[in-house]
């Protein structure tokens, strides 16, 4: 265990958090949350080391070379597990047009079949959202997308604080569910014709935490690794894949620095160069 007072947990309002950031006794700020709050705290941190994990609206590309039927269960879980309250959840799903109709039909069917309800039940995949105002925001974003011309295929309703898993198509880029982090059980699906153009679509976001790609073409996987402006590119899994030992962090508005065991040790310590020369 840790020695006494090595770890403290303090629930506090924003003003108190800002006082902690400004305190000279604090050497490092590590923050996970919204990009608005994260960059505000960084502006206050001065000379302190700063690590920020500020979420994203992760894409998942499914090209025409892959057996999408086998990938489907993974993609559904990547979009809706934990009710989408995961920074790296698959939010924007791009599918090659030759597979789009069949994929969409199967994706919607699998989404409707997800077990929803009590998070204490081990069978539950989609539970309630964290608080009422979060429910209201997610539903408002869905309504905004529909008002702008999007098609609702399932979900879009609530039972208490549970928002039923929602699939949308035809979502304009300006809609919140497309350009912002929804942090809820909502996925948008769109077709693409050209692989390079799909990668450009992925990059057309202020976020860059993690991206997923399903392909059987190694050259495309390597192209994606070079092209995608994300802290992590996950090939043949969704953006939600993460193990604690891997470097984890984002580009652009998604943050600064990297988490993960080795990466965190480097971020949270200060390197020191020691030179030993022979005594005269």
Regarding beta strands 162-163 and 158-159, do their DSSP bridges make them parallel or antiparallel, or are they unpaired?
antiparallel
Phi and psi of 213, rounded to 5°? -145, 130
Query: Quick check: 248 and 230 in contact, CB under 8 A?
Result: no
53 is catalytic: yes
CA separation for the pair 266, 263 (Å, rounded): 5
Which residue in 90, 76, 84 sits closest to 130, CA to CA?
Answer: 84
Catalytic residue selected from 12, 18, 24, 53: 53
The token pair at 95 is 């599918």
Q: Please pick, among 87, 181, 190, 267, the residue that the annotation labels catalytic.
A: 87
90, two tokens: 């698959």
Tokens of 233: 């590119």
Cα separation, 160 vs 125, whole angstroms: 16
CA 104, 240, 60, 215 torsion-angle sign: negative
Sign of torsion, CA 157 159 163 166?
negative
Q: Which two tokens stand for residue 165?
A: 């898993």
Cβ-proximal residues to 69 (8 Å cutoff; 6+ apart), any chain: 106
Say if CB 108 and CB 101 are below 8 A apart: no
Listed residue (183, 214, 217) closest to 91, CA to CA:
183
Active-site residue set: 53, 87
């Amino acid at each position: 265990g840790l020695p006494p007072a090595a770890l403290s947990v303090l629930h506090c309002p924003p003003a108190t958090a800002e006082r902690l950031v400004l305190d000279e006794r604090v050497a490092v700020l590590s923050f996970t949350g919204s990009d608005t709050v994260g960059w505000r705290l960084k502006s206050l941190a001065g000379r302190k080391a700063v690590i920020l994990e500020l979420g994203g609206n992760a894409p998942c590309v499914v090209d025409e070379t892959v057996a999408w039927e086998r990938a489907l269960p993974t993609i559904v879980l990547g979009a809706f597990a934990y009710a989408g309250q995961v920074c790296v959840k698959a939010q924007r799903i791009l599918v090659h047009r030759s597979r789009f109709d069949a994929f969409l039909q199967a994706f919607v069917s699998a989404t409707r079949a997800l077990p929803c309800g009590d998070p204490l039940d081990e069978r539950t995949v989609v539970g309630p959202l964290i608080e009422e105002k979060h429910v209201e925001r997610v539903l408002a974003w869905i309504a905004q997308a529909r008002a702008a011309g999007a098609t609702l295929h399932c979900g879009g309703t609530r039972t208490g604080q549970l928002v039923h898993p929602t699939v949308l198509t035809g979502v304009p880029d300006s809609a919140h569910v497309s350009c912002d982090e929804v942090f809820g059980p909502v996925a948008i699906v769109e077709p693409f014709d050209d692989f390079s153009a799909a990668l450009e679509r992925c990059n057309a976001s202020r976020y860059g935490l993690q991206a997923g790609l399903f392909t059987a073409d190694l050259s495309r996987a390597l192209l994606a690794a070079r092209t995608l402006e994300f802290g992590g590119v996950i090939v043949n899994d969704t953006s939600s894949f993460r193990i604690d030992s891997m470097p984890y962090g984002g580009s652009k508005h998604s943050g600064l620095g990297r988490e993960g065991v080795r990466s965190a040790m480097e971020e949270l310590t200060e390197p020191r160069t020691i030179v030993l020369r022979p005594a005269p």
